[in-house]
Each structure stands twice: as structure tokens, then as C-alpha cells.
Structure 1
Amino acid sequence: MESLSPNIFVTDINKTIEFYTLLGFGVAMSVPETGPGLVWAMMVKGNVTMMFQSMESLGEELPQIKRTDGGSLLLYIKLSGIRAFFEDIKEKVTVLKGLEKTFYGATEFSILDNNSYVLTFAEDEAE
């Protein structure tokens, strides 16, 4: 195995792109490539790749996928410069848990994205 790129189902691709752009992600690919009516987008920041797909685009292909926002999913994203990143976005997003040092040595914070998914950002800071 070489990588894992989640494909997250959302109700509004354009609002999702706006939200993740606030976090510094950029659109790498989309379907269609241009114009209105996006049904899928791949966004990248550093080594992190996330894909977003509209629930409507599934049709009846995968009825097992629950068609509601959010869910019992937490995306754990490691990065460098966590304190500066937190300061940059904290007024633009819903912060669920502020910066804290964990018992396992990571500095973390958690936010809620526009689709009710939880994102936890972490850095293994030097003591």
C-alpha cells in the first residue's frame, strides 16, 4: 500500500471547496473540469489529498453509503507549524477543541468542517 485518500460524500461541493480553501487546500482536479455542476473534486495540501463527491452523483450505484452529512468519522491530519496554522484559521472555522498537548506528546486541535465532519490537526512538537 502506498497511500490513503478519503473520498468524502458531501451535499455541496462548492461550499466544501470554499471551506477547505480556507485551510490552505487547493483543487487539483474536478469533474467536470470547469463550470457549474461539480460532482467531484480532489483537493491537496502538502502530502494530504482529500476527495469530495456529491451525494447526488452516486445515483443508485452504492446504496450502502448513508446520504447524510457528517458521521462517525474523524480525520487526523499531521502537519508542521500547528500553532501558526491554528492562529490563522481559528476565527474562520468552528473550533471544537483548542490547542492542547496530549498525554502521547502531540499538540492537537479539532474543528468541524462545513459538512459536520471532525478534523483533528496534530504536530509532534519538540519539548
Structure 2
Amino acid sequence: MESLSPNIFVKDIRASIQFYQLLGFNLIASVPEEGDNFVWAMLMNGNVTFMLQTFESLGDALPEVNRTDGGSLLLYIKLKNIRDFFETVKDQITILHGLEKTFYGATEFSVKDINGYVLTFAEDE
């Protein structure tokens, strides 16, 4: 295996891209390549890559994919300089849990994206 790139389903890709840009992600690919009616997009920040896709683009394929917002998926993202990153984003997004040291030694905080997904950012300080 070489990599893992989660594909999360959203209702509004443009709004989702704008949210993730607040977290420092860059749009690196989309379908279509131009315009505002994206059905798929790939974002990247450092070595972290994930995809956004609309529910509508699935059509009737993969009925196993739940068509509701958010879900039981939590994206766990490791980074460096977590305290500086937290200070940069804390007033722009919904913080679920502020900075705290865990029993396993990581410093973490959790946020909720505009689609209901939970992201936990962590650093082994």
C-alpha cells in the first residue's frame, strides 16, 4: 500500500473547499477543472490529502454510502506546531474540544467542519 485518501461526501463542494482553505488546505484537482459546479475535488496540506464528492454525483451507485451529513468518520490529522495552528484557526471555525494533553501523550483539539465531520488535530509534543 502507498497511501490513503479519504473521500468525504458533501452537499456543497465550493463551501467545503472554502472551509478547508481556512485550515491551510489547497485545491489541487477538481472535476470539472474549471467553473463553480464541482462534483469532486482533491485537497492537500503537506502530506495530508483527501477528496470531496457530492452525493448527487454518485447517482444510484454505491447505495451503501449514507446520504446524510457528517457521519461516524473522524479524520485524525497529525501536524507540527499545533499551538500556533490552533491560534490561527480557533476564531474562524467551530471548536469542539480545545487544546488538551491526552493520556497517550498527544496534544489535540477537535473541530467540526461545515458538513458535520469531526477533525482532530494532534501533535506528539
SS of residue matched to 1:107 = strand
Deviation at 1:110, TM superposition (A): 0.2
Map 1:1-127 onto structure 2 (within 5 A).
1-125=1-125
Deviation at 1:84, TM superposition (A): 0.3
Identity percentage of aligned residues: 68
Q: Extract unaligned runs of 5+ from structure 1.
A: none
Q: Extract unaligned runs of 5+ from structure 2.
A: none
4+ aligned runs moved over 2 Å, structure 1: none
Query: Distance between the aligned counterparts of 1:105 and 1:37, measured in 2?
Result: 43
CA RMSD of aligned residues (A): 0.5
SS of residue matched to 1:100 = strand
Deviation at 1:64, TM superposition (A): 1.0
Q: Is the 8 A contact 2:14 2:36 kept in 1?
A: no
Deviation at 1:9, TM superposition (A): 0.5
> Under a length normalisation based on structure 2, what TM-score does the superposition of the two structures give?
0.99
Q: Is the 8 A contact 2:110 2:118 kept in 1?
A: yes
- Cα-to-partner distance string for 1:56-96 (whole Å, 9 max, x where unaligned): 00001111111111011111000001000000000000000
